[in-house]
Amino acid sequence: MTNISFEFFPTQTESGTEKLLKVRDRLAQENPEFISVTYGAGGSTRDRTRAIVKAVQESGVAAAPHLSCVGDSKADLREILLDYKEMGIKRIVTLRGDLPSGTGMANSELRYANELVEFIRQETGDHFTLEVAAYPEMHPQADNFENDLKNFERKVKAGADSAITQYFFNADSYFHFVERVQAMGIQIPIIPGIMPITNYSKLARFSDACGAEIPRWIRKQLEAYGDDQASIMKFGEEVVSDLSRKLLEQGAPGIHFYTMNQAEASLAIWNNIK
């Protein structure tokens, strides 16, 4: 059976939360391994993240809160970890985190994800399964691909259990990354992150910001559809379903869907491949 998981981000309104809870209930029917919940720059969504984590956990699906170190003190992080332990959380997605606008890392006691992984291990032992991020097409702020691989190795050696990748649309980039890290002696599962294609302008803007490449042939086809949303959705479903199928057939250990707080697109892809 293929493991799947989903990602949510904290909503800003009460009506948004109500809609997200309906999405949660729909996705829960697929028995996901977990649903992760993002954590804003510098902990800016801390309370809202916690509320969604609690709502997911209470539904019977394992919640996996994101936790970042930039902008939070060790005391803050210790408090969050204790709270999550008391809530019954067993998995954390461990990240450096985005820098809050206009700030640097000078005020952070922990500066990088490997330091956060090490801190969590020191504080809680093996209580949490720790996920870290992987970048098949390189982290956008990395100097080069080789240094990025070394950064990933540091996170694994610090105590990471598995990794979730940034989304991508070129399967070869994933397999190349896995091959490289396995050659370094890294054997943890590396789960592909999958982004459904539902809105080209938003996808292009997001991809440019996070360093995820949209292959030229996909860009050109999406551009050709213009405002024809139905064609964009249909083409996106086909492309991402084919990508997901190829990944699983060639050995990927599961699929992690970046849902953008919507159920339909992720479920369409999942129904095509499961």
CA neighbours closer than 13 Å in the CB half-sphere of residue 176:
12
Tokens of 236: 């996106």
Q: Judge whether 58 counts as a catalytic residue.
A: no
- Number of alpha carbons in the 13 Å side-chain half-sphere of residue 9: 10
* Angstrom distances, CA of residue 149 to CA of 35, 178, 181: 27, 10, 7
User: Bridge-partner residues for 64, per DSSP?
Assistant: 36
Place of tokens 């042939």: 217
Residue partners of 220: CB distance under 8 A and separation at least 6: none
**Is there a contact between 166 and 137 (Cβ–Cβ < 8 Å)?**
yes
In contact, 32 and 257? CB cutoff 8 Å: no
Q: What are the residues facing 193 on neighbouring strands?
A: 167, 256
* Cβ neighbours of 87 (radius 10 Å): 15
**Lookup result for tokens 């809609």:** 19
Q: Which residues are catalytic?
A: 7
